[in-house]
Amino acid sequence: MSESPAVSVIIPNYNYAGSLDLCIRSVVEQDYPPTEVIVVDDCSTDDSVDRAAGHGVTVLSTGQNGGVAVARNLGAAHATGEILFFLDSDVALSAGALRRAVELLASSPSIGAVCGTYEAQPLIRDSLIEECRCLQACYWRESSLGSVSWLFSAMCAMPSRVFKEIGPFNPKLRHTEEVDYGQRLSSNYQIMLTSEVRGYHDDDSQLIPLIRKIFRRGRMRVPLYARRRKFAQGFETASRAWASVFAFLGLAALAAPAFLGPVGWALPALMFAATLACDLGMYRFTATRRGLRFLPAFITMQFIFNLTVFSSIAAGAVQWLCSRRFRTLYDDDSPGPAYAPARLSHYVTRRSWSCQPPRLRARPSPHRVSPSSSPTTITRGPSACASNRYSARRSRRTK
């Protein structure tokens, strides 16, 4: 790696116009300015494209809605930087995040990726549900710092040579591409999860869509874990798994008094106490950050999350037993094309960047991002996004 490696920031986007401005602005204002910022739009139906183009960054289109894996692959194919920094469009970087990511990657050739953590506060405060989710996401990452086998692709940096060696994200996976990529990457390189690279996340604000997303992702992970016989290192712990089990048992045990009489209430009480004990560290973290008055709401939401996780794994296990196609979902180690070249994009908007990245020495750099004044627009025929079958639905990503 060179002394001052060029960084390409790749931002996949689908209907995140509300947070995209904050995301791009947080990148441009970094003290280690990127060589280029590439926004890859996955056929959004809002005004995401206009907002991105207004910042003078490169804007690409996938041509048809293909998922975040396709968008990241397309951005990586167009990137010219020595380091690729993947950043979801609902995340805004904290100050100094890019510089620290570059320094950590340069510290050891064995590090294949540096992943960041979320702040406890949401990027945009929309609901109590979002606040609970952000606290949970912050704690889970803070308690998993170090070497992991899960790629937190919503905010991560990796050398372009490593991306070329490991290959693209699997475009067939819409909801678990980061788990699959983490397993592939961690077999050859170290994935570092660090609190020195941070960002604010605009998480889900509505309960039903959030439950659906947690359920879908949990179910889709079952064949991967069944094939590789292990969970993600450093993130999925035994206590977190048991918290979901005890939450389900506690709910089922509510029927015990009907058979055992009043003494039967001891059984669900014991199960609920067990699920609380499994997540005790997170509840202490929440009480410290938000106070005891916030804790009942957080415990309620966490109980719902635990029930959803257990249900998703159970559903995935049943599907794994009944469906050969589901069992072999991750069997193909070659993910195939990074994107569909025939429908690469219907437009490409570019602005050139006149800056060079600063040196990693502790001296002020005169270089800053300064986009040129005249963008070049290349039109590639009529919009292929008209075939987007998800045109009316917002596909939220958690990372």
Could you report the per-residue pLDDT of 173-228, keeping only the tens digit for each?
988 899 899 989 999 999 999 999 999 999 999 999 999 999 999 999 999 888 87
Write down the pTM of the prediction.
0.84
- Same-domain check for residues 37 and 178: yes
Q: Which amino acid is at 75?
A: G
Give the closest residue to 234 by CA, choosing from 278, 190, 175: 190
- Same-domain check for residues 286 and 355: no
Kindly state whether residue 146 falls inside one of the protein's structural domains: yes
Structural domain containing residue 260: 238-327
Question: Per the structure, how many domains does the chain have?
Answer: 2
Cα angle 324-326-329, degrees, rounded to a multiple of 5: 110
**pLDDT 10s digits, 123-154:** 999 999 999 999 999 999 999 999 998 899 99
Give the closest residue to 116 by CA, choosing from 128, 98, 132: 98
Domain of 91, CATH number, reads 3.90.550.10
- Same-domain check for residues 265 and 194: no
Q: Which residues of 120-148 are buried (b: 16+ CB within 10 A; e: fewer)?
A: bebbeeeeebbbbbbbbbbbbbbebeeeb
Q: What token pair was written down for 322?
A: 């009944």
- Same-domain check for residues 18 and 165: yes
- Same-domain check for residues 117 and 87: yes
Mean of the per-residue pLDDT values for the chain? 85
- Same-domain check for residues 373 and 248: no
- Same-domain check for residues 252 and 299: yes
- The residue from 311, 327, 343 where one domain ends is 327
- Same-domain check for residues 197 and 300: no
- The residue from 327, 344, 364 where one domain ends is 327
Kindly state whether residue 215 falls inside one of the protein's structural domains: no
- Same-domain check for residues 152 and 71: yes
